[in-house]
Amino acid sequence: MSGLKELRNRITSVSSTQKITRAMQMIAATKLRKAKEGAESARPFSDKLADILRNLSKSFFGQDNAPPLLVGTGKDDTHLFIIASSERGLCGGFNSSIVKLAKNDALELIGKGKEVKFITIGKKGKEILNREFGDKIIMSYVFADIKTVGFNQADEVALKVLELFKNEEFDKCRIYYAKFASVLSQVPTALGLIPLDIDGSENIEDNNDCYEYEPDEEEILNDILPRNLSVQIFRALLENVASEQGARLTAMNNATRNADKMIDQLTITYNRSRQATITSELIEIISGAEAL
Amino acid sequence: MAAKINFDFVSPESLIFSGEVDMIILPGKEGDAGILPNHAPFMTSLRVGVVEVTINSNIKKYLVDGGFADVSSEGITLLAERSFNLTESSSDEHSQLLNEVNKDLDKAESDKEKEDLNTKKEILLVNKN
């Protein structure tokens, strides 16, 4: 009889877990929609900025007087990794896949005798990295009490990075985040911030417009580069938020489905053993009656 | 009506304004610049100041914290991280921003920061509605 009661308890506990996962799935779906909207509204700004940068930087690449923020310090000794992660767990392999990518790169660089430093954004990334690279994390940001990541947070991180760069504490900087490909797939990505990865450099359209610059090109470039850093970080954070919700949606969907399966199985076992008890009771009664 | 010019005003978080306008006055780093339709391609970085947008002889004013303007044959694109709509904001929002500026002013260290914040404050005081 105790078997029956245990089974009943397990069914109740699985179904209440399922209730939670289903609720989380629905919340993730709404948040995902919002996060996608946010990422989309950020796009015009960063696209335009990238356009301007592309136009401006063409003339500077390969020159000695190119701004270090654009081409790096020329050295390759210390690398700074910015790891964007989530504040909460229960989102499948989201955080671990970002950290794994960064870890592999870090180990490769360390193997070559380079130094690696980390800045983490989000609680989870820090937790995972702490185990192996605890002493190399120079700064960690936790935005747990902020509902939606805004430009101010990205700016805060960017200012810190600029300060470190000015003090020559690193030579190259990369940000690791999950690129939002679709709800089902989020691709962990590394983006070079210093020196700058300018994407799509092969399809530079020849702009026939003969621009007039005020102040001159170099000064505008020096003005635009620090801003670009904030914008790139902001964009990465937004993509990351969307990816996190996508990952959570998938993870919770799976969990709900697994719970369904488990409940089905448990119910069958429960019914079977209930039937078995009834049968054995009946046999007892019948054989008792026959003995009379 | 005379020719109009396309104007996009974007911040990292959203598209603030998009549409056809008659004229724009930009607070360029080396002086204000008025942009009319068919302006030659031109790019400038902005200082802290007021962007004036004229649409059908209505004037909209935005306070910007620096940024960039790109004038091309397709129109004007203005990039500004932080901006504040001086014409259409309520007096509550107005005084809230003024408070923030005052707070920042107390914290400001470099002369450049102080100068920028003072400009901002003046603009806010002048444009009180």
ipTM of the complex: 0.80
Answer whether A230 sits within 8 Å of B29, measured CB to CB.
Answer: no
Interface probe for B, chosen from A34, A55, A207, A214 (most Cβ of B below 10 Å), is: A214
**Among A37, A40, A43, A45, the residue to mutate for chain B (most B Cβ within 10 A):** A45
Q: Which of A45, A154, A214 sits opposite B11 (nearest CB)?
A: A45
A58 has a pLDDT exceeding 80:
no
CA distance A71 to chain B (A): 21
Q: What percent of chain B has pLDDT over 90?
A: 28
Residues in chain A: 292
Task: Give the tokens for residue A89.
Answer: 């767990």
Shortest CA distance from B32: residue in chain A? A214
Residues of A in contact with B8 (CB under 8 A): 44
Nearest beta carbon to residue A151 from set B13, B41, B72: B13
Q: Are A42 and B13 within 8 A, CB to CB?
A: yes
Minimum CA–CA partner of A49 in chain B:
B79
The span from the CA of B124 to the CA of B104, in Å, is: 14
Q: What does the angle CA B18 – CA A198 – CA B14 come to, to the nearest 5 degrees?
A: 25
By CA distance, what is A35's nearest residue in B? B13
User: Using CA atoms, how far apart are residues A12 and B2, in angstroms rounded to an integer?
Assistant: 73
The highest-confidence range among A11-20, A57-66, A162-171, by mean pLDDT, is: A11-20
Q: Dihedrals φ, ψ of B126, to 5°?
A: -70, -40
Contact in structure between B74 and B6 (CB atoms under 8 Å): yes
What's the fold here for domain B5-85? ATP Synthase; domain 1 (2.60.15)
What residue type is assigned to position A250 of the chain? T
pLDDT at A203 over 50: no
Determine the residue type at A263: I
| Minimal CA separation from B116 to chain A, in Å | 16
Domain ranges across chain B: 5-85, 91-126
Distance, in angstroms, between B66 CA and closest chain A CA? 10
Touching check for A44 and chain B: CB below 8 Å?
A: yes
Question: What pLDDT was estimated at residue A202?
Answer: 45
Read off the tokens for B94: 């107005």
CB contact under 8 A, A214 and B81: no
Contact A209 B73 (CB under 8 A): yes
A173 included as an active-site residue: no
Which residues are registered as beta bridge partners of B70?
Answer: B43, B77
DSSP alpha helix (H) spans, chain B: 91-107, 111-126
pLDDT tens per residue across span A135-165: 889 989 988 777 778 888 898 899 999 999 9
Shortest CA distance from B13: residue in chain A: A42
Interface of A with B in 205-224 (CB under 8 A): 209-215, 219-220, 223-224
**CA-wise closest residue to A230 among A118, A150, A116:** A150
Residues B19 and B30: their CA atoms lie apart, in Å, by 27
Domain boundaries, chain A: 22-251
pLDDT of residue B120: 87
Widest CA span of chain B, in angstroms?
49
β-strands B5-10, B15-21: how paired? antiparallel
- Per-residue pLDDT for A50 more than 70? yes
Relative to beta strand A137-141, strand B31-35 is: unpaired
Nearest CB among B10, B33, B43 relative to A213 is that of B43
> CB within 8 A of B70, min separation 6: which ones?
A48, A52, B43, B76, B77, B78, B79
Catalytic residue among A24, A32, A69, A91: A91
Domain at A22-251: CATH code = 3.40.1380.10
Question: Which residue among B12, B33, B41 places its CB closest to the CB of A45?
Answer: B12
Q: What is the pLDDT of residues B40-86, one digit of tens each?
A: 888 889 999 999 999 988 999 999 988 889 888 888 999 998 888 88
Residue carrying structure tokens 């429960």: A270
* Phi and psi torsions of B19, nearest 5°: 165, -175
Quote the pTM value: 0.85
Nearest-Cα residue of chain A relative to residue B80: A45
In order of A11, A24, B82, the CA distances from A259 in angstroms are 10, 14, 47
The answer to whether the Cβ–Cβ distance between A45 and B73 falls below 8 Å is: no
Structure tokens that stand for B29 in this block: 């780093």
Q: Are B80 and B103 in contact (CB under 8 A)?
A: no
Kind plus residue range of the DSSP H or E element containing A279: helix A217-291
- Measured from the Cβ of residue B97, the count of other Cβ atoms closer than 10 Å reads 17
- A263 band by pLDDT with thresholds 50, 70 and 90: very high
